[in-house]
Amino acid sequence: MTTNKTYHPETLGLRAGTETTEFGENSEALFLNSSFKFKNSAQAAARFGGTEPGNIYSRFTNPTVTMFQNKLAALEGAEQCVATSSGMSAILACVMGLCSTGDHVVASRSVFGTSVQLFGNILKRWGLEVTFVSLTNPSEWQAAITPKTKLFFVETPSNPLTEVCDIQVLADIAHQANAYLVVDNCFCTPAIQKPLDLGADIIIHSATKYIDGQGRCLGGAVLGSKILMEPVYGFLRTAGVTMSAFNAWVFLKGLETLHIRMEAHARKALDLATWLEAQPQVARVYYPGLTSHPQHALAMKQQLSGGGIVSFEVQPKSGQTKQEAAWALIDSTELISITANLGDAKSTITHPATTTHSRITAEARLQAGISDNLVRIAVGLEHVDDLKADLRF
Ligand SMILES: *Cc1c(COP(=O)(O)O)cnc(C)c1O
């Protein structure tokens, strides 16, 4: 089936992008081969010359990867998807494809820690100018614009505090400056939020997270218009940050169940967040689906649900430091996995201050609102009563 906008999203997750070989398989085939044969030299020349479409070499294109790209593009409502070897290489390919030395990127301060390193350290060494601003304050984005500004880069909701930005407002500011708004849609996935419909130009995914959904493979994707994706693909096929066919095959299976999984993650996360808010040992809960969330209304306008990530501050007991309170809770769990990953069917628990956000200074952490008693749970698919019972305050 080719993409058809009249189908509902869950149907697209199952049916879009799929192609069938002469064998008539009902599940997408895994093309675990590096190169493709030509009938003769003339066909080889035509493929290389671009006058005949078709596969050449799996660093460029591979049928299993193409099926994954077409399925994800249908779900995000994008013209084109470029699959990459990881979420980080998706961000790298996006910037390398669209920016040059001297160009300027405005990025949210509350993006994935490794994205901060990529922009602030590595790409900076190659002459990319980067300004970090507040995710939730559009006037800072406006003020950061220079004549060289090419990209705005955000994650919404943010990690770990689930802050939300108004995608349409930032897209308008970016477009007035002839810049593109890039949204890392990893936390929501298209099952919950469709940034292109809200005015964004480019979407980034770490497929490693909810798209896989069972913690198996690394992968990523960049999505947008054909014109914007052409140089991104050009970088990928030359630099080789290609998604493996095996991983694409796993992600194809993940996309089939994405909608039903995201509904379940969000339902369980809302239940857990509501319960946490009622616990005397919890000082504060961060979850966009709660009415107490400062941007609850905006989140519910942009998202179908609050998603699967819940963060909260543990109230220290007398004599306990904030970190001791958080660590005691995390270390007392028997069921929930202590790991920094998210988007797995198994629930995971993290102490951001000493793991994902340990590389930033204590002052910067405090400024970002990540206190030493903050705990993040990526709510999986276990029964929520078992999760509650596992949190021994
Ligand atoms: C994990 C993650 C990434 C990086 O993805 P990898 O697949 O680990 O390279 C980027 N953005 C967000 C929001 C993430 O959670």
Q: Which residue ranges form the domains of the chain, and what is each CATH number? A: 9-256 (3.40.640.10), 260-390 (3.90.1150.10)
Phi-psi region of 199 (alpha: psi -120 to 50; beta: other; left: phi over 0): left
Asked if 193 and 9 touch (Cβ cutoff 8 Å), the reply is no
Distance 74 CA to ligand 1 centre (A): 21
- What percent of the chain stands above pLDDT 70? 99
Question: Which atom of ligand 1 is closest in space to residue 159's alpha carbon?
Answer: 13
| Interval 216-274: pLDDT, tens | 999 999 999 999 999 999 999 999 999 999 999 999 999 999 999 999 999 999 999 99
pLDDT tens string 42-93: 999 999 999 999 999 999 999 999 999 999 999 999 999 999 999 999 999 9
CA distance 210 to 256: 12
**Is residue 220 in contact with ligand 1, taking CB distance under 6 Å?**
yes
Distance between Cα 239 and ligand 1 center (Å): 20
Q: Which atom of ligand 1 is nearest to the CA of 219?
A: 7
CB-ligand 1 contact for 87 (6 Å cutoff): yes
- pTM score: 0.96
Which residue among 110, 158, 186 has the greatest number of ligand 1 atoms within 8 angstroms of its CB, and so is best to mutate? 186
Q: Please check the confidence at residue 3 and state whether its pLDDT lies above 60.
A: no
Contacts of 176 (CB under 8 A, 6+ apart): none
Q: Tell me the pLDDT tens digit for each residue of 352-372.
A: 999 988 888 888 888 888 999
Tally of CB atoms within 10 A around 186: 23
Residue nearest to atom 5 of ligand 1 (CA): 87
